[in-house]
Amino acid sequence: MDSLTAETVAAFLATIHGRTLDPATVQPIAHGEWSRAFYFRSPDGNFVIRFSALDEDFLKDQRAMRFASAALPIPRLVEIGQAFHGYYAISERMYGEFIEDSDQQTMQRLLPSLFDVLDACRAADLSTTSGFGLWRADGNAAHGTWSQALLSVAADVPTNRTHGWRARLYYFSSSSTWLTPVPTSATSCTPICCTSTSLFATIGSTPCWTGAHRCTEISCGTSPG
């Protein structure tokens, strides 16, 4: 996936859609944790295509679309398929900047809109799902309480995509004393009072904003548009 260029993406899009696409209309997106993403323009409109070794995040995006509204702007996912020994997803492009890049003044203007998004997340109906913490493409999560979900972050589970993080932290840290395992007694801390979940906590969102200082996109998966 790291070797993808605008030219290879344009050629791929031409293959799956049956029409030539000018590589100049394809632009890489630097931001992304689990995928490579590119903007592209076609006669049908402006889109984002993402490539990943996993399809789970794309399927989660697809599921999250059911909650989209004016108050909760989630990009429409148009297409999911296989590509380059992995998967791709195409979504409609929504414009904005990443909220974590905002300065203090911009963040202060953005907050009312962000709070509106959080209210919309809280109002989303998740009654057909269960569990807390990181969720699967079926909408369910593995833990019975938030306390269990939070305490589980210390476990470097082999089946997790982040497996090996603890060894890497030891390797790169000049002092590993802060990585000392949490005492057993700490795992019996007072239970967290939260007994219900919300869409924001469930999808791990990254809101984006525009010059109008409002959230324009909630990205549920690997790379926002």
Q: Which residues are within 8 A (CB) of 188 and not within 5 positions of it... i.e. 6 or more apart?
A: none
CA distance 216 to 75: 9
pLDDT of residue 30: 75
Judge whether 99 and 113 are in contact, CB under 8 Å: no
Residues of the chain with CATH 3.30.200.20: 6-96
Q: What is the pLDDT at residue 224?
A: 47
Please list, in sequence order, all residues whose beta carbon lies within 8 angstroms of the beta carbon of residue 213, skipping any fewer than 6 positions away: 106, 109, 110, 113
Tell me what pLDDT residue 95 has. 83
Q: 6-96 adopts what CATH topology?
A: Phosphorylase Kinase; domain 1 (3.30.200)
For 132-176, the DSSP string reads EEEE-TTS-EEESSHHHHHHGGG---TTSTTTTHHHHHHHH-S--
Query: CA–CA separation, 27 vs 38, rounded Å?
Result: 5
Closest CA to 99 of 201, 204, 215, 203: 215
Per-residue model confidence (pLDDT) at position 12: 96
pLDDT tens track of the chain, all 225 residues?
778 999 999 999 999 998 888 999 999 987 667 889 999 999 899 999 999 999 999 999 999 889 888 888 888 999 999 999 999 999 999 887 778 788 899 888 888 888 888 888 888 888 999 998 888 889 899 999 988 888 888 888 898 888 898 888 777 765 555 555 555 444 555 555 555 555 555 444 555 655 566 666 666 544 444
Rounded to 5°, the CA angle 186-149-224 comes to 135
Question: CA-CA distance, 149 to 137, in Å (whole number)?
Answer: 17
SS3 19: coil
pLDDT number for residue 220: 54
Is 85 within 8 Å of 39 (Cβ atoms)?
no
Distance (Å, whole) CA 211 – CA 225: 16
How far is residue 148 from each of residues 25, 143, 196, measured CA to CA in Å? Answer: 46, 6, 13
End-to-end CA distance of the chain: 18
